[in-house]
Amino acid sequence: MTLLHLEGVTRTVDLVDAPALRILSGIDLDIADGDRLSIVGRSGSGKTTLLNLLGLLDNPTTGVMLFDDRPVQSFSGAERDRTRGRDVGFIFQQFNLLQGRTALENVMTPLLYARGRQFWQRSRIAAEMLDRVGLADRLGSMPDRLSGGEQQRVAIARALVRGPRLILADEPTGALDLETGAAVMDLIDEVALASGAALVTITHDPAIAARAKRHLRLDHGVLRTATNLPVSA
């Protein structure tokens, strides 16, 4: 089932005393449930802008963008927030953990906006997710008492705790050493596969990109099939 459909999507930013800046041009993209794709591109190619569109943080300037067959422009602000909170999980290069909050409290945060069982059992659900990422013994640890790899695993647990249908990983290993980065990607792949979520990895690292089934390249706002990547594992 197609989760996201983009057709002829552009994103333009108005500038003061200068022509409007077009960041994305004519993006055509379909993302299905369970999809695994990577998007590579140099700094300034528009990767972050595209990520914001896919994650329902921004609207296209022109073109068609559907989420579950609904035009995203038709979403009210509340509908957009609910859909993003329920169906989209973000994993960033910078962990963005809440300082002064334990690992458990950080992972519980998205569940504060849930309903029913997810809300009332948020502590247990968050603890189970931390156990799943190998941190069952660090529930009460503050971020400054965790290693870089442990902080990233907390961030992954937080992104996945609500069972999103779409996981957006933005340079998820950029702040990690090679060995830890490989372990983190193994974990993201494993959780995405087990849950049936679509996984979109945005990266400049061709080795990380090659782990996906589909490889795309964003160059000056134009999205194309990528070539010359290592063979996917």
- Whether the CB-CB separation of 230 and 210 falls below 8 Å is answered with yes
Vertex 115: Cα angle to 195 and 156 (nearest 5): 40
Q: Would the pLDDT of 233 be above 60? A: no
DSSP secondary structure code for residue 230 in this structure = P
Q: Compute the mean pLDDT over every residue in the chain, rounded to the nearest whole number.
A: 88
How much is the CA Rg of the chain, to the nearest whole Å? 18
* Secondary structure (3-state) at 39: strand
- Whether the CB-CB separation of 172 and 155 falls below 8 Å is answered with no
Mean pLDDT comparison of 7-11, 74-78, 81-85, highest-scoring range: 7-11
Task: Return d(Cα 197, Cα 101) in angstroms, integer.
Answer: 28
118 vs 62, more confident: 62
CATH numbers and ranges of domains, the chain: 2-98+148-225 (3.40.50.300)
Name the band, by pLDDT with cuts 50, 70 and 90, for residue 185: confident
- Count CA atoms within 13 Å of residue 99 on its CB side: 1
* Secondary structure (3-state) at 8: strand
135 Rama sector, left if φ>0, alpha if ψ -120 to 50, beta otherwise:
alpha
Q: What would the pLDDT profile of 55-68 be if each residue is shown by its tens digit?
A: 999 999 999 999 99
pTM: 0.87
178 vs 90, more confident: 90
The closest of 54, 85, 25 to 202, measured between CA atoms, is 54
Task: Name the percent of the chain lying above pLDDT 70.
Answer: 97
Cα torsion 43, 56, 68, 120 to 10°: value is 120
The closest of 34, 110, 26 to 60, measured between CA atoms, is 26
Task: Return d(Cα 129, Cα 211) in angstroms, integer.
Answer: 24
Task: Return d(Cα 120, Cα 102) in angstroms, integer.
Answer: 19
Instruction: Find the mean pLDDT for residues 156-162.
Output: 89
Instruction: Find the mean pLDDT for residues 126-148.
Output: 92
Q: What would the pLDDT profile of 190-199 be if each residue is shown by its tens digit?
A: 888 888 899 9
Q: What would the pLDDT profile of 216-230 be if each residue is shown by its tens digit?
A: 999 989 999 887 655
Instruction: Find the mean pLDDT for residues 11-36.
Output: 91
The count of other CB atoms within 10 Å of the CB of residue 128 is: 14
Name the band, by pLDDT with cuts 50, 70 and 90, for residue 36: very high
